[in-house]
Amino acid sequence: MAAIDLELLKGFVDLDDPKVKAVFDVIEPYFPVLKRLGAAAVSLFVDGLKQQDWARIDRELYEQMTEDERDALSSQVLANARCAVHKAYEANRQWKDTITRLLLGVVLSLI
């Protein structure tokens, strides 16, 4: 199997679409391992994605991963989760700020 070219794959997906970006952010950390393990691992990964069976993906791929690969994957997944939480927090904070400004404007207009 030819090497998995992540940059080439990024060119085929619409990363401006938040749903596509979210899915890509989830699968991207697995690419270095899949590249090393080859076609069988990619097949297993794709099948797991279709079945939405992350436990199986992690269980079967973790058995074949080196400790460094496991650490790198865990670090990347944690970083992605932190980023997602931060984005959600900021969106919520901005929404609350907008509502507060709107309510303040209504109150000031009534005075």
Q: Cα–Cα distance between 74 and 77 in angstroms, integer?
A: 5
Closest CA to 73 of 6, 2, 81, 108: 81
Is 65 contained in some domain? yes
Q: What's the mean pLDDT when you consider all of the chain?
A: 83
Would you place residue 77 in the very low, low, confident or very high pLDDT band (cuts 50, 70, 90)? confident
- Give the model's confidence band at 1: pLDDT under 50 very low, under 70 low, under 90 confident, else very high: very low
Q: How many CB atoms lie within 10 A of CB 23?
A: 13
For residue 2, pLDDT beyond 60: no
**Does the residue 89 lie in any domain?**
yes
- Mean pLDDT across 67-92: 87
Is residue 1 one of the residues assigned to a domain? no
Number of domains in the chain: 1
Per-residue pLDDT of 5-46, as tens digits, reads 666 777 777 778 888 887 788 888 888 888 888 888 888 888
Q: Do the Cβ atoms of 38 and 61 come closer than 8 Å? A: no
Determine the pLDDT at residue 11. 74
Q: How many helices, marked H, and strands, marked E, lie in the chain?
A: 6, 0
Here the tokens at position 75 are 């670090």
- Residue 51 inside a domain? The answer is yes
Cα–Cα distance between 93 and 17 in angstroms, integer? 22
Please indicate, yes or no, if residue 62 is contained in any of the structural domains.
yes
Distance, in Å, from the CA atom of 21 to the CA atom of 13, rounded to the nearest integer, reads 9
Determine contact, residues 80/72, Cβ cutoff 8 Å: no
Q: Report residue 92's pLDDT band, with 50, 70 and 90 as the boundaries.
A: confident
Residue 104 lies in a domain: yes
Domain containing 90 equals: 6-110
Q: Any idea which residue has 């907008």 for tokens?
A: 98
Please report whether residue 99 resides in a domain.
yes
